[in-house]
A and B are shown apart, each in its own frame.
Chain A
């Protein structure tokens, strides 16, 4: 049943994407290349970027920036979530601050980071951190709070050490929430990193997009964008594979498709 649903989704994705590509190809017959380049042009540029070492460095640089920002935000989010879970008073004061941070646009953080900091990499890391931290914190906090009181009491009755309690109960309880948080935040982070790279970076997908805009090269802009999309899809696929393995105990009807 789940397999059939999954196959259906893949089929729907392929049909939808192919439909857009056909419409785009038709439009390319009536408009100049700088507005609607043909699909073969875009594909050629995509393959060029993917197979040329110097351009792959840009893609990998962006990927590394995304992962560094996410790892930083995740670790800070874990600490913050544990503090919030421990103290209702801290939660009462800190939650509005995190909500406020969530409301600030990524572009505003770019401006703030440029004014505050010198190093390009640190600026981008800072932007990635502050934009993904609130979501990570709230999602990890939810995961911690979803722990069953019944299972906690049952485990405590065996009198485990703190480490054993963490290993046998806390970790398996929070894993589904954490994996979901990663899947959601990777998409957000890929959008933010491009904005961050547009300003001040001397490499990466965002920087290359800015160059394509200056050259009026739509095929290049789309090819670079697709590189980032491909990275996000691969990473999300990896997280989904980990999720499928870690949550293999769930009944098939409850598993993510």
Chain B
């Protein structure tokens, strides 16, 4: 009988990340001895002001940056060190769509499959299916410049989810869209993530978005450390939502440092 998968997908243990200041005037700390865990199937919303280190945490989990100290594990592997071991296990939806302008919508979704070496015919079928699920049937052969902002972000969601990753990272994925499009896309995205019981870390600076998306909310203060944490899970009663909103506002209002931060 195969061993049950580790219930913990993301582990942060005493993680610190420092950067050299661009002008050479020393270092600044973006993440300070941060520890948390994300369990399988959980959607965690990470909330904080601009410059609180949200995106640094994001890059550390994605393996795009190396921690200065501490331990990070994604599905039991070091995301920076074990580069190949996590191939295909992390799907990322960025703030911008980050589509390759020289690829059609379909070819953009196929990117992950090409990197994973999936057979072309099978990959095409899955990619077309994902585009259809996201309402882009008929736009497979359109180049990004011919698509609207919302459509492009749908393609980027399809690109991230179609490879069936263990973990989905989202870095303010709907912040560049208008409110109506963002709301509709967020609902679709949540449905897809919950239907597939994926683990997700959702970085945002919007309290309402965090309350809507997360099973759990982590509020960060500069330099990235957890100042507030709450389980939300599913539909929240309006009075509890208002209370959580007020508490989060207080925490964020306390984090009034005006400089030295980093995203």
List chain A positions with a Cβ less than 8 A from chain B: 150-151, 153-160, 164, 168-169, 172, 247, 249-251
Contacts and interface: CB of A to CB of B under 8 A. Distances in A.
Given A150-B96, A156-B64, A157-B92, A172 B102 contact: yes
B189 interface: no
Contacts of B94: 150, 153-154
A154 B92 contact: yes
A191 to B, nearest CB: 33
A158 to B, nearest CB: 4
Interface in B78-106: 83-84, 86-88, 90, 92, 94, 96, 98, 100-104
B114 A164 contact: yes
A247 B64 CA distance: 30
Interface of B: 59, 62-64, 83-84, 86-88, 90, 92, 94, 96, 98, 100-104, 111-112, 114-116, 143, 145-146, 163
Contact of A159 (B111, B115, B146): B115
| B contact patch SS | loop
A157 B90 contact: yes
A155 B92 CA distance: 10
Contacts of B96: 150
| A contact patch SS | helix
A164 B100 contact: no
A168 B111 CA distance: 8
* Smallest CB-CB A-B distances: 8 pairs: A159-B87, A154-B98, A160-B115, A158-B115, A249-B102, A157-B92, A251-B145, A172-B102
A158 B112 contact: yes
Contact of A164 (B62, B64, B83, B115): B115
Nearest to A157: B92
B86 A169 contact: no
Contacts of A247: 102
A157 B64 contact: yes
B86 A159 contact: yes
Q: Which of B59, B87, B94, B98 has the most CB of A within 10 A?
A: B98
Q: Which of B83, B92, B100, B146 has the most CB of A within 10 A?
A: B100
Given A151-B100, A172-B102, A249-B103, A158 B64 contact: no
A143 B146 CA distance: 25
B72 to A, nearest CB: 15
22 contacts: A150-B94, A150-B96, A151-B98, A153-B94, A157-B64, A157-B90, A157-B92, A158-B87, A158-B112, A158-B115, A158-B116, A158-B163, A159-B88, A160-B115, A168-B114, A172-B102, A249-B102, A249-B103, A249-B104, A250-B101, A250-B145, A251-B146
Contacts of A168: 100, 111, 114-115
A250 B101 CA distance: 8
A150 B98 contact: yes
A153 B62 CA distance: 10
A215 B203 CA distance: 79
A239 B236 CA distance: 62
A148 B109 CA distance: 19
A247 B102 CA distance: 7
Nearest to A169: B100
A172 B111 CA distance: 13
A254 to B, nearest CB: 8
Q: Which of A151, A153, A154, A247 has the most CB of B within 10 A?
A: A154
A249 B143 CA distance: 6
Q: Which of B84, B90, B92, B102 has the most CB of A within 10 A?
A: B102
B88 to A, nearest CB: 7
A221 to B, nearest CB: 45
A158 B88 contact: yes
